[in-house]
Amino acid sequence: MNLYSIKLVIVFLLGLLTVLGFAPFYWFPVPVITLAVLLGFCYKSQTPLQAAVFGFGFGMGLFCAGVTWIYVSLHDFGAMPMPIAVIALIILCAYLSLFPAFSIWILAKLRLASPLLWASVAAALWMLFEWLRGSLFTGFPWLAMGYSQAPFSPLVGFAPILGAYGISLIVVFSAALLFLWFEKGRKWNYGLLLALIWFSGFYLLTIEWVKPQGEPVTVSLLQGNIAQDMKWREDHIENTMEIYAKLILESDSRLIVTPEISIPLFSDVVPRTYLSYLAAHAKSNNGDVLIGLAERTTNDNNEYYNTMFSLGISPEQSYRKHHLVPFGEFIPLKPIFGWVIHVLQIPLSDFSRGGLDQQPMDLAGQRVAINICYEDVFGEEIINQLPQATMLVNVSNDAWFGRSIGPQQHLQISQMRALETGRYMLRATNTGVTAIINERGKVLQTIEIFTTAALHGLAQGFSGATPYVRSGNYPVLGLAGLILCMGLISAFRAARKTL
């Protein structure tokens, strides 16, 4: 095995190790170290193509280890044959790995002479390609480097200003500085700049971007623990309804939240007496209950939605899921991929989209911004309901991921949304992780996964807007674009001198 092959193995292993930075491990310094080694290999690579291959190998290690829960969804619960599920996962990981590969290829192609400019462009390119990965074909921003820092790293002090992608930029810039510090004989300027960035994060954590509004509200987050292979069976629906009715009736909280499509029925066929019974209990608590149901329209298009309905003292309201999961909730490019419906045994796999302009619900004296399952992965969409909303609610069914690391990673993403917005995030999930997350991204309370239980606690509403709520990803995209322009100008000038 030659040196190049050994390096390929190393970068793949580095990608594997990087997963330790994410939940459930939370070893946030790890991605900085692994990226520093990767950037070092790319810095010394002989050709841009060689550097790109290193980036691709790193990505394959990262995603093959970090999104294995997709295999669980496809094979264990989607009934996709094992060979096809493995091939599908490898193809997805290869596609996702193209983004770090292209960012590294462009960096190597520029051949920047200034170390600090090289470090800045490396960070800008990585972040821009992460953002592109989170946008193309409805987006898949899972395992963006910024998430690895939530909630314990001092770098999350930047979350209310720059969001998850901004922290990704800082993580990669830190990694580049760490490499340069070793590469250039531990020159003090690189170490000083690295320390300054991280201590700035500590300082930003002391800033109060938002303020409490009113008194805390009592909440109950319900976890029915309905097995995925039982959820849609007709002979089990009555049992599911009984489980959630019992959990609701045992709660005296003002806000009670059930998971995504907690009752696996269309809203128009759920017995009205059942809903009236739950609504009456919510009113007796001087509050409201959120119920997850499928909703279908009466028009000729036979559209149906993944919807949350409110019952109780407030006027009845609803929220329809907007950002759908490709191949799970809708089939993209049906003429090409329509066959997937026949392979995957996923009920209701062709939902319609709710509007992007939906407003927070007025519930239990709070203005509650609802997001369903996968939607909380997109911070730029969550802020559409802010600053009007005083708290966030995410409802999900992570039973699709079994006992993989997927549900824990999803929790970490919710923690980042709380940090960006300065709002409590309440998570009600079918099998876990059900949790109350405060405005600092810290999990205040949780219950054991795969148990039937209710999480009772207090949630504080907040008012005000963080800089990220006001501007979204535009500032960090603009910063990255400016850095890249500087890199292009420098590379162009250097090329002219050699002519």
Cα–Cα separations (whole angstroms), residue 12 to 58, 60, 64, 108, 288: 5, 7, 10, 19, 50
Q: Is 373 a catalytic residue?
A: yes
Question: Which H or E element spans position 349?
Answer: none
Closest among 64, 157, 194, 134 to 374, alpha carbons compared = 134
Cα–Cα separations (whole angstroms), residue 226 to 34, 231, 269, 294, 448: 39, 6, 20, 16, 14
Structure tokens at 228: 């995925």
Rounded-to-integer distance, Cα 105 and Cα 120, Å: 15
Q: Is 260 a catalytic residue?
A: yes
Cβ burial 298-322 (10 Å sphere, 16+ → b, else e): eeeeeebbbbbbbbbbbeebbbbbb
CB 368 within 8 A of CB 389: yes
Rounded-to-integer distance, Cα 133 and Cα 229, Å: 31
Q: Is 321 a catalytic residue?
A: yes
Contacts of 299 (CB under 8 A, 6+ apart): none
Rounded-to-integer distance, Cα 439 and Cα 459, Å: 10
CB 147 within 8 A of CB 164: yes
Cα–Cα separations (whole angstroms), residue 7 to 13, 42, 321, 451, 453: 10, 10, 44, 45, 49
Residue tagged active-site, from 373, 375, 380, 420: 373
Residue tagged active-site, from 260, 329, 380, 420: 260
Residue tagged active-site, from 7, 295, 321, 380: 321
Which residues have a catalytic role annotated? 260, 321, 373
